Amino acid sequence: MKILFITHSFNSLSQRLYCELTGRGHQVSIEFDISDSVTEEAVALFQPELIIAPFLKRAIPESIWSRHRCLIVHPGVPGDRGPSALDWAIQRGVDEWGVTVLQAEAEMDAGPVWASANFPMAATRKASLYRNQVTEAAVRAVLKAVERVAAGDFEPQRVPGKPHELMKQSDRHIDWQTDCSALVLAKLNAADGFPGVADSLFGQPCHLFDAWPEATLRGVPGTVLGWRETAICRATPDGAVWIGHVKRPGGIKLPATLAFPEATDLPELPLAGCWKAADPTWQDIAYEEAAGVGFLSFEFYNGAMSTAQCRRLTEAFRWATTRPTKVIVLRGGSDFWSNGIHLNTIEAADSPADESWANINAIDDLAEAILRCESQLTVAAVGGNTGAGGCFLARATDFVWVRDGVMLNPHYKNMGNLFGSEFWTYLLPPRVGAAGAAAIMRHRLPMTAAESVQLGFYDACLPGPGFAVDVARRAAELAAMPDIGEQLAAKAARRAADEAVKPLAVYRAAELAEMRRNFYGFDPSYHVARYHFVSRSPHSWTPRHLARHRDLDWKVPA
């Protein structure tokens, strides 16, 4: 079927639907929702058999829905209508939620229902719910709806419902004197990653994001008790919570201590016990050990890895290599494994060019430490979406096991034609061939976990449910191999042979020469793209590689 996506952006949900539908032989083209006239033009050019809106912030114009079948993906159960669907569901503490695919009509979300899928609600952040449970349910519901459209004999039914309001900041307000920690966490979770909860810190207005529980610290409710690395801890009547990120008026979302440097005048609240995982508290890097395997988690907000985070993670990794283990598993975070260098901290730096340079060198140091590790076999357990440099950082390990359902974007050019580093020129071509590597970089398209394994880029795609358990079992099996000594020796020999052909330093220098041009050269594309990315600027055109109907040689098939 010829399917046109009308979407606010090509976000992870749209990417997943795109891969699922194209993988089933449908022809999908994409137009960003920029204006009614642009959408009308896209429809005229593509002449789709079906229009799907995976992620829209505005209504589809009547000129389109009255002439074409348009299916809206609504993140709510049948009968739920209106904006802030997930926010209300989280804040009301419902047990079950769902996704409904309904036909666009004049009244928002009131059209007949083509399919729906439910999931048990999880106590997590809105953005996490969206990227995981909502996305999985949306895939099931959209595939079902497309099947029904193709069959031609399905009669979609109307479901009665009443629209709810847009959730306002007054609905999200935190009273630090009376709201217990669980309620504070629920309010912050319902607002993460957008719009956050309007509040104030150090007498200044700001929006709060990225809340973590705290098991032991106590203080006068509402006061900021202190800081740890980039987060701050604030007391509630029955304990405290950590705030990882904040956004000041007119600014961008930043680590809390970067947005409010005065926080570091308060007491530092360091973790006892090195990298070892502690009780619930703010801990972005945590280490555990079992059955000869070291597990290193790095829960970096949005998968973004700043210079300081890369350096601390390198230190933690080097420390992990000194442990009496045979395997190290790099777990990444629960939502993202890694999205490469931290574009927000770069944007906020006095010299974004210098900070980009420092950050890419710091992430390359980490990749190099992984590549040069001879004391353990290394595994990347990619359980969350991964983009750009993060995809190649994972490939620096000996084995990459990826969770089915994860979306990968192993390319850089979408960020202002960035060349990329993280040793991708060493790591990618042997896996997919020189032409394959060039195609991945040029096409700039998302890839599913299964595709990454079919291409030979990653090593195994493991089922979603039970992924962590499966990884632990497989890693323990590796560690228990009777010939683990020989395996490690063979790994060291392979690295030495590669080094003799072309040293890692040569790959790195060549990549960084290109990156230096991106950061300091005449062409400002990377700086412009980064500014728009971190400012979340609405798109003003759809890139050609997505809007296939705008290809110069596009012809409406006869």
Scanning 68-76, 212-220, 290-298, 380-388 for contacts with ligand COA by CB under 6 A, the matching segment is 380-388
Number of Cβ within a 10 Å radius of residue 503: 11
What is the spatial distance between Cα 331 and Cα 384, in angstroms, rounded to a whole number?
9
State the Cα torsion 362-363-365-370 to the nearest 10°.
Answer: 150
- Phi, psi of 438, deg, nearest 5: -65, -40
Joined together, the tokens standing for residue 294 give 């070291």
Answer yes or no whether residue 75 interacts with ligand COA by CB under 6 A. no
Please select the residue that binds ligand COA; options are 3, 5, 12, 88, rule is CB under 6 A: 12
Using CB under 6 A as the binding criterion, the count of chain residues that bind ligand COA stands at 23
Place of tokens 């006869």: 558
- DSSP H or E run through 234: strand 231-236
Report which residue type is found at 529: A
Scanning 69-77, 262-270, 336-344, 482-490 for contacts with ligand COA by CB under 6 A, the matching segment is 336-344
Answer yes or no whether residue 226 interacts with ligand COA by CB under 6 A. no
Binding mask 463-502 for ligand COA (x = CB under 6 A): ----------------------------------------
Scanning 220-228, 313-321, 414-422, 470-478 for contacts with ligand COA by CB under 6 A, the matching segment is 414-422
What is the spatial distance between Cα 171 and Cα 249, in angstroms, rounded to a whole number?
20
Determine whether 406 is exposed, middle or buried from the number of CB atoms within 10 Å of its CB (0-12, 13-18, 19+).
Answer: buried
Please select the residue that binds ligand COA; options are 342, 403, 474, 508, rule is CB under 6 A: 342
Scanning 96-104, 116-124, 342-350, 395-403 for contacts with ligand COA by CB under 6 A, the matching segment is 342-350
What is the spatial distance between Cα 393 and Cα 43, in angstroms, rounded to a whole number?
40
What is the spatial distance between Cα 290 and Cα 331, in angstroms, rounded to a whole number?
14
Nearer to ligand COA, 149 or 304 (CB): 304
204-214/239-247 β-pairing: antiparallel
Nearer to ligand COA, 179 or 355 (CB): 355
Report which residue type is found at 365: D
- DSSP H or E run through 187: helix 181-190
Answer yes or no whether residue 333 interacts with ligand COA by CB under 6 A. no
Please select the residue that binds ligand COA; options are 130, 412, 426, 507, rule is CB under 6 A: 412
What is the spatial distance between Cα 202 and Cα 187, in angstroms, rounded to a whole number?
21
Answer yes or no whether residue 389 interacts with ligand COA by CB under 6 A. yes
Nearer to ligand COA, 314 or 325 (CB): 314
Scanning 98-106, 298-306, 467-475, 517-525 for contacts with ligand COA by CB under 6 A, the matching segment is 298-306
Nearer to ligand COA, 77 or 198 (CB): 198
Place of tokens 């009509």: 105
* Cβ at position 477, least distance to ligand COA in Å: 31
Answer yes or no whether residue 304 interacts with ligand COA by CB under 6 A. yes
Answer yes or no whether residue 81 interacts with ligand COA by CB under 6 A. no
Q: Are 208 and 234 in contact (CB under 8 A)?
A: no
Q: Which residues bind ligand COA (CB under 6 A)?
A: 11-12, 193-194, 253, 302-304, 339-344, 385, 387-389, 409, 412, 414-415, 418
